[in-house]
Amino acid sequence: MTLLVTGCAGFIGSNFVHTALAASDETLVNLDKLTYAGNLANLASFQQDPRHVFVQGDIGDRALVERLLSEHQPRAVLNFAAESHVDRSIHGPGDFIQTNVVGTFQLLEAVRGYWQTLAPVPREAFRFVHVSTDEVYGTLGPTDPPFAETKAYEPNSPYSASKAASDHLVRAWHHTYGLPVLTTNCSNNYGPYHFPEKLIPLVIHHALAGKPLPIYGDGQQVRDWLYVVDHCRAILRVLEAGRVGETYNIGGWNEKPNLEVVNTICQRLDAVRPRADGQSYTSQITFVKDRPGHDRRYAIDARKIERELGWKPLETFESGITKTIDWYLAHAQWVEDVTSGHYRQWVATQYG
C-alpha cells in the first residue's frame, strides 16, 4: 500500500512522514517543490529507507502528479503543500494564490482523473485528505466560543483567504464529482523542524543568538497551540476512519497569548541554557509595530474529532514546548543551515 504526500519537506509534512513511517510499513511517495521552507534535511533519516520515495516537484504540475499517481497507485493523497506564512502573504500574495488556489485545483484534477480509473474496490477505499488551517474562520472576540466545523468562513489575510479558497475547491470536488475528500483545519502547530520565521522557533533562535525577540503590538494575541506530532496522529486517524466529505477541526486545547508563550520559552532557556551575563532572556523582548489586519484570537473546538474518531492531544503546552526547545538545542546545525542570508534579510525587513 502507498500514500502520496505533498509538501513532505515542510514543517508539518515532514513530521507527518516521520509519524507515518513509525506507525506502519506503508510506502510514502513524497512530493515537494523545495521552496525556502522545504528542507530535505527534515527527511535525512529516511534517505536509505525504501519506504520513502522523494520526488521534487510542484502540485501545480498536473502532468507530474498524474505520472506519480499512475506509477505508484496510492490508496490516498494527503495534501500538506501550501504557502503558509501570513507575514509573507502580506508582502507577496501572488505566491499564495498560485500554490494554495491554482496548485490545489491542479492537484484535485489530477487526483480526480486517477480516482475515476480505479477498479470499484480501490476506488471506494480511496481518500483525498486536505490539510488546512483555523485561520479560514477569521478572528474571535475574548468571550466567543472556539471555532467549530460549522463556523462560517471569514478569512482576513491573503494567506487565510487562499486557504479558504482551497477548502472550497475541495468541498466542491466532493459534491460535484464525488471525490472522496476529508478536510482538516488545525490550530497553530509547533515542534521539531519548524522553519524559524514563525513565533516559537523564531524566539528560540533569536534568544540563543542574543537578538531582540520581536513581539507584535501588545503581545496579547491569543492562539491555540497544537504539538505537531499530535496533529500528525490526528491526520492518520482521519485518514483511517473519517467520514467522507466531512471536516475535522484539530486543536490542542491550549489557548495562550503570544507574550505568555515567549515568556515560557525564556524561562525554559533560563533554566537549561542560561545567558553568560546572568540576565533572563526576557530582557531581549522587544515590542514592534503590529502587522496589518492581525487576528486577535483563534481557538479550536476539537470535540468532534474526539467524539467521532477518539483522538485527543497527548501533549500539554508545557510538555510540548519543553520537547520543542530541547529539540532545537540538540539540532543547532539544522538551525544554522536554514537561517541563511536570505532568512536574515527577511527578518530585518519584517521586524526592522
Q: For the segment 22-80, what is each residue's pLDDT rounded down to a tens digit?
A: 999 999 999 999 988 889 999 999 999 999 999 999 999 999 999 999 999 999 999 99
Q: Name the residue among 138, 142, 132, 134 with its Cα closest to residue 221.
A: 142
Catalytic residue from among 58, 87, 134, 167: 134
Whether 87 sits among the annotated catalytic residues: the reply is no
Q: Name the residue among 78, 44, 42, 76 with its Cα closest to residue 59.
A: 78
CA terminus-to-terminus distance, the chain: 49
Whether 134 sits among the annotated catalytic residues: the reply is yes
Mean pLDDT of 297-303: 98
Catalytic residue from among 114, 159, 193, 351: 159
Decide: helix, strand or coil at residue 151: coil
What amino acid occupies position 268?
Answer: R
Mean pLDDT of 236-245: 98
pLDDT of residue 37: 83
Alpha-carbon distances of 5 from 56, 59, 182, 284, rounded to whole Å: 12, 10, 14, 39
pLDDT of residue 113: 98
Pair 259, 213: CB distance under 8 Å? no
For 2-193+227-253+294-316, the fitting CATH number among 3.40.50.300, 3.40.50.920, 3.40.50.720, 2.60.40.10 is 3.40.50.720
Catalytic residue from among 135, 255, 295, 315: 135
What CA–CA distance (Å, rounded) separates 225 from 14?
19
pLDDT of residue 182: 99
Q: For the segment 102-142, what is each residue's pLDDT rounded down to a tens digit?
A: 999 999 999 999 999 999 999 999 999 999 999 999 999 99
Whether 83 sits among the annotated catalytic residues: the reply is no
Q: Name the residue among 38, 128, 114 with its Cα closest to residue 81.
A: 38
- The alpha carbons of the chain give a radius of gyration, in whole angstroms, of 20
